[in-house]
Amino acid sequence: QKEVEQDPGPLSVPEGAIVSLNCTYSNSAFQYFMWYRQYSRKGPELLMYTYSSGNKEDGRFTAQVDKSSKYISLFIRDSQPSDSATYLCAMSDPSGGNEKLTFGTGTRLTIIP
Amino acid sequence: DAGVIQSPRHEVTEMGQEVTLRCKPISGHDYLFWYRQTMMRGLELLIYFNNNVPIDDSGMPEDRFSAKMPNASFSTLKIQPSEPRDSAVYFCASSFGRLQETQYFGPGTRLLVL
C-alpha cells in the first residue's frame, strides 16, 4: 500500500462548479501538507501549504487537513478553465531533519467552459 | 530570478547509452532535489542535497543512477547505461532552508530511451 493515495481521475466539471480533490495517507508522522498544481508539460508549482490540522483559505482555494482521519482535501470555488491541470498532494514528516516530500500520483482536472 | 533551469528539455537516446541531465538551482537555495515522474508511479524523490552534500539517496533506483553537485549552482543526474524503463520526466527542484513548502520545480527533462 502506498503511503499517500490519490484518485487519479480524470475529473471533469463545468465552469463555476465547486471542485473537491482528496488524498488519504497512512503515515501518522506527516505534519506538513501541500497541494501542487501542474500544468501540462510543466513542473509542479506550490498552491497551498498547511501545517498540522485545520483549514487554510487563499482566494478561491481552501485546503483542509483532518489528521484524525488521515485525510486532506483541496476545494476550488467558482472553478475556471485556467484551473484545468493535474493537482498533486504532498506531505512530509519533519522529524529527524527529514526534508523529503511524499507525493500522491495526482488528479487530472478539466474545467469545461 | 530565472527559476530552476534544467537541460536538456528533451532527450531521446538508445538503450545502453549514457544520459546526463543538468540542473541549475535558484541562487541562494541550499537544498536541491531530483525527482522522477511517471504515469504509473507518480512523482518520486531520487536524491537530495544540502549545501552540495548528498543527504538521502535512498530513492535512487539502481547503481546505474548517480548524482553530483560540484557547487551551489550546478547538479547533474547521470544514467549509465540507460534502459527503456528509465523513460520518464525528471525534475529538479530547489528550496531555501528546511521549509518544505518552498520547493520550486524546474520545467523537467523528458527522457525517452529506445
Nearest CB to B108 within list A43, A97, A105: A43
Query: What residues in A contact B41, CB-CB < 8 Å?
Result: 105
Tell me which residue in B31, B101, B107 faces A49 most closely, judged by beta carbons. Answer: B101
Pairing of strands B31-38, A61-66: unpaired
Q: Find chain A residues with C-beta within 8 A of B102's C-beta.
A: 46
C-alpha B11: how far from chain center = 14
Handedness of CA A28, A30, A35, A41 (dihedral sign): negative
Residue B4 has pLDDT above 60, yes or no: yes
**Residue A3: DSSP 8-state:** S
What DSSP line would sit under A16-82, residue for residue? T--EEEEEEE--TT--EEEEEEE-TTS--EEEEEEESSEEEEETTEEEEEETTTTEEEEEESS--GG
The reply to whether residue B43 touches residue A97, judged by beta carbons under 8 angstroms, is no
pLDDT greater at residue A45 or residue B102: A45
**What would the pLDDT profile of B42-54 be if each residue is shown by its tens digit?**
899 999 999 999 9
For residue A8, say if its preceding peptide bond is cis, omega within 30 degrees of 0.
no
Contact B55 A88 (CB under 8 A): no
How far does Cα A64 stand from its chain's mean position? Answer: 9
Q: What is the pLDDT of residues A57-102, one digit of tens each?
A: 999 999 999 999 999 999 999 999 999 999 999 998 877 666 688 8
User: Does the structure show a pLDDT above 90 at B96?
Assistant: no
Integer Cα distance of B102 and A32 in angstroms: 12
CB contact under 8 A, A99 and B48: yes
State which amino acid sits at residue B66. S
3-state secondary structure of B46: strand
Mutation to test the A interface, candidates B101, B110, B111, most A Cβ within 10 Å: B101
For residues B35 and B37, give the distance between their C-alpha atoms in angstroms, rounded to a whole number. Answer: 7
Determine whether B4 is exposed, middle or buried from the number of CB atoms within 10 Å of its CB (0-12, 13-18, 19+): buried
pLDDT at residue B102, rounded to an integer: 73
Mean pLDDT of chain B: 93
Whether the upstream peptide bond of residue B81 has omega within 30° of 0, thus cis, is yes
Contact: B42, A34; criterion CB under 8 Å = no
> Which helix (H) or strand (E) element contains residue A99?
none
Indicate the SS3 state at residue B29. Answer: coil
pLDDT at residue B99 in the model: 59
* Closest Cα in chain A, distance from residue B82 (Å): 22
Across the interface, of B31, B45, B107, the residue whose CB is closest to A43 is B107
Cβ pair A100:B56 closer than 8 A: yes
| A45–B48 C-beta distance less than 8 A | no
Distance from CA of B65 to the nearest CA of A (A): 19
